[in-house]
Structure 1
Amino acid sequence: MKVFCLSLVVLLLVSSSWAEVEKELSVSELLERANRDRTPDFDEPALIGGDIAVNPDADRNADPCTSRGCLWLKYTDGIVYIPYYIANHYSSREQSIILRGMESFSAVSCIRFRPYQNGDHEWISIESRSGCYSSVGRQGGGQTVSLDRGGCLYHGTVQHELLHALGFNHEQTRSDRDNHIRVYWENIIDDMRYNFNKINTLNQGTPYDYNSIMQYEKYAFSKNNQPTMLPIPNNNVSFGQATQMSQNDIIRLNRLYQC
């Protein structure tokens, strides 16, 4: 009996430890893990940057927000209402994670996600497809935000993909990236180097943010377990470890939508 009790205690401690590790994973690490062995269906889009859905004919170095305009529309009451549809294959617990992620925007900005209604011409469709991904900004009509039940249902990953849908790119592709991050091209998987190309981003007058939820961690797309990027001038500065939106992420969101 004592042996059984001791084994049970050890099992509970190990389980607790595993759960703690799970909680501490950054959004960047969760996304990389969820999309690592992605096997997309025939009707799913190509991805850049690991989780950004793009048109096959799109210019991968262009920012839709600066090249054609991608903001969701603001109503006369000053609120940006974004219709959403959540696929019914999610459990109630999974739906609550998604809803909590959407509600977190209401608390800090003029963004309001509301259920899809007949007559809506633009909306986001949240579905469990292959991996975690979203287009950047408003696309027109229905646009998919994929939150795979197999690895994307965390508060931070929901925020990350919704920020893409609202018009935000990854921090490491910022136009002023080279002043803050050194990219080690030789360590990047050969056919993934384009993910580090800078684009003409809208930075909203805010400083480079190592703590942004949109900043990937230092081993992203590494082919040899060596860093693909490090902060400069101090390589020891922590970055890419965000688990939720930073204050700068919130400031940029409010400036972009003039909340």
Structure 2
Amino acid sequence: MFKKIFLIHLCLMHIVFCSDYNYLEDGLYEDFPKGIYQEDKLRKSEDLSLVSMVTVKEDELFQYKSQNIMWRDEAPIKKKPKPLIENTRKIIREFYSLNFTSRWPYGVIPYELKPEIEKDDFLNLSIKLAIEHWEQQTCLKFEKFNPEIHSKTHEAKLQFVKVEQGCYSEIGYPDFLFNKFSSIVTKRIFLERNCLKGQVMHEIGHTIGFFHEHSRNDRDKYIDILWQNIAFPSLNSFNFDVAGDILEKDNLNIPYDVSSIMHYPSYAFAINLRKTIQVKDKNLEFLLGNRDGLSFYDAKMANVAYKCDSRCKDSFIECKNDGYMDHKCKCICPQGLTGKYCENYIAKSEKSVPLEKVNLTCYFTNSLCSWIQEKYRDEIDFIPNKGKTFTSMYLQTIGIENDRNFTNDTYLYLDSYYVKYPDESAQLKTPLISIKTETNFCLSFWYHMFGNPMVLTGELGVYLHEPNLSENLTKLWSRAGRQNHSQTEWLQAQINVKVNSDFRLMIKAQRFNSFLGDIGLDDIQFDLGECPESDIKPSITLLYY
């Protein structure tokens, strides 16, 4: 009997361990993200990794069919849906058999770094930022492993391990049914050189017990899995399977969340950039693949699962409207709600700011001034940077080497080295600005676009929006492809702008399907009156959504 139980648990551990990565030929493929949606100025730039992107061209499939004996020669693969159970599940259940806990005791995760990770400043920073984010949003505490202390309270520790390729992890606190007399068990998170903050946050989610959001048994109400677009389905399809009872997950009455940090993006494991996940409500599609930070429901799930309100004197007080009490004993409210108990709604109307109260002249030394990183209508953010970009560092002959004055000051740039998807854009916008009368002003800035001359790496554009006159955007200026004559050169744009009502400006950088050049932005100047020398203005009107 004991042997049977042992084998069952061994199988379960194997299934859980394999739930986040896949061996394909000699390569290891894993979770990968698409950055979106959060206010932290570094958010979208921190979750990109070239090797984490798994897409396959259709004309290359035949070679894998002939080389991989596990390939199922079926096109398209059609999966029969598994029977749903009444309880949808997302996080590993609180107790294993024989009442062994699946949660890290006291919400404390002792951890250590393997020597090869300790020597890697880049990975160290990614881990540090990811841990800080989880600690800010939950009552979880990550402590450097101390055998004398933690051996008395824990039977497991977390270890960060560096690997050649992939970002993947094991799930949950170990089941000690057959391990009660062993030494401290090591649960591992495996990270390649380019695993960034968002990916580490995702893997930590697995470590504390989170499964993928799209494995929930109620997922078919919210998304469609396009099985025919999944590359190497015999190897990758399990990443999209609905989790059965064997994984024993519990959703804790938390609704399905397309913005979860545990959800795959639209093009996960895709053939020819065809969608593998389609959101039924297309207005929510931009939320998929978030690796910027915990969503509201991610944080709620962790706080509820680890009983973070148990230390609060007022833990019996119920937060309203789906809010929850955090480890600081305050109700955290969903977006659009406020109040001590999340009982009040926030007005949605956007207020304009008088022109004289905004600061649009900005050198990005310490802040973005009055400029704002767009949260919803783009996929990535401009990255504040000093010195060389990744492209310039690794490819050397292209990319940005320094700010426009070569003083090692801060500038913004759209990264092209860690391209995940073609046509991703970053948008920098002003607040809605009110004026009293028709106004002319000059907008000038310096830009850098020194990419490979053989490919069109991206476009930089300036747009005007006057919502009282039109819902559309007017493109005032744009440049595409290589513009600079040398890698050290920055160019100046000067644009005359005439406005008749409340307005906002938007600077949009969009990268195309190439990693051979960045787009830099520096020293924005905003002056009343006309420019000394204005660039030619294209007359193009675009929809504002």
Q: TM-score, normalised by structure 1?
A: 0.70
What is residue 221 of structure 2 aligned with on the other side?
179
Query: Per-residue CA shift, 1:84-110, capped at 9, x if unaligned?
Result: 001222334532331221122221211
8 Å Cα contact 1:185/1:228 also seen in 2 = yes
Task: Tell whether the 8 Å contact from 2:90 to 2:215 is kept in structure 1 after alignment.
Answer: no
2:160 pairs with one of 86, 101, 126 = 126
Q: Which residue of 2 aligns with 1:217?
A: 265
Could you tell me which runs of 5 or more consecutive residues in structure 2 were left unpaired when the two chains were aligned: 1-41, 56-88, 176-184, 309-545
Relative to 1, partners in 2 of residues 1:223 and 1:36: Cα closer, same or farther, differing over 3 Å?
closer
- Counterpart residue identity of residue 227, structure 1: K
Question: Whose strand proportion is higher, 1 or 2?
Answer: 2
CA drift at 1:64: 8.3
Structure 1 position 235, deviation (Å): 6.6
What amino acid does structure 2 have at the position aligned with 1:244? G
CA, structure 1 residues 238+35, in 2 after alignment: closer, same or farther (shift >3 Å)?
Answer: closer
Corresponding residue SS for 1:107: helix
Whole-Å separation in 1 of the counterparts to 2:228 and 2:280: 18
Change (3 A) 1:88 1:239: same
Task: Report the alpha carbon displacement of residue 231 of structure 1 after superposing the two structures with TM.
Answer: 0.7
When residues 179 and 26 of structure 1 are mapped into structure 2, their CA distance, relative to the original with a 3 A threshold, is farther
- State how far apart, in whole Å, the 1-side matches of 2:160 and 2:191 are: 7
Task: Considering Cα pairs closer than 8 Å and 6+ residues apart, tell me whether 1 or 2 has the greater RCO.
Answer: 1
> Whole-Å Cα distance in 2 between the matches of residues 218 and 235 of structure 1?
13
Work out the CA distance in 1 between the residues paired with 2:91 and 2:307: 18
Q: Which runs of 5+ in 1 are unaligned?
A: 1-21, 38-61, 75-79
Pairing partner for 1:162 from 201, 204, 208: 204
Q: Provide the residue aligned with 1:208 in structure 2.
A: 256
Shift in Å, 1:234: 3.2
Tell me, yes or no, if the aligned pair for 1:64 and 1:70 is still in contact at 8 Å: no
Distance (Å, rounded) in 2 between the aligned partners of 1:73 and 1:246: 24
Who is 2:170 aligned against? Answer: 135
Q: CA 1:63–1:248 in structure 2 vs 1: closer, same or farther (change >3 Å)?
A: closer
Answer yes or no: is the 8 Å Cα contact 2:225–2:278 preserved in 1.
yes
Letter of the structure 1 residue corresponding to residue 52 of structure 2: A
**CA, structure 1 residues 65+156, in 2 after alignment: closer, same or farther (shift >3 Å)?**
same
Q: Distance in 1 between matches of 2:225 and 2:216?
A: 13
Q: Is 1:169–1:214's contact at 8 Å kept on the other side of the alignment?
A: yes
**Equivalences, count:** 205
Map of 2:300 onto structure 1? 251
**Equivalent residue for 1:12?**
none
1:233 and 1:26 map into 2 onto residues whose CA distance is 27
The corresponding residue for 1:70 is: 102
Preserved CA contact (<8 Å) 1:156 1:245:
no
TM-aligned CA distance change 1:35 to 1:136, over 3 Å: farther
Mean Cα deviation higher: 165-174 or 233-242: 233-242
How far apart, in 2, do the equivalents of 1:188 and 1:25 lie?
26
SS in 1 for 2:112: strand
Work out whether residues 82 and 124 of structure 1, in 8 Å CA contact, stay in contact via their aligned partners in 2.
yes
Q: Distance in 2 between matches of 1:251 and 1:168?
A: 12
Q: 2:191 aligns with which of 123, 131, 147?
A: 147
Q: Which residue of 2 aligns with 1:46?
A: none
**Paired AA for residue 255 in structure 1:** V
Q: Which of the numbers 49, 67, 82 marks the counterpart of 2:109?
A: 82
When residues 63 and 108 of structure 1 are mapped into structure 2, their CA distance, relative to the original with a 3 A threshold, is closer
| TM-score of the aligned structures, taking structure 2 as reference length | 0.35
Report % sequence identity.
Answer: 26
**1:238 aligned residue (279, 283, 286):** 286
Q: Counterpart of 1:95?
A: 124
The answer to whether the 8 Å contact 1:182/1:232 transfers is yes
Task: Name the counterpart of 1:17.
Answer: none
| 1:113 matched residue in structure 2 | 142
How far the C-alpha of 1:211 sits from its partner, in A, is: 1.1
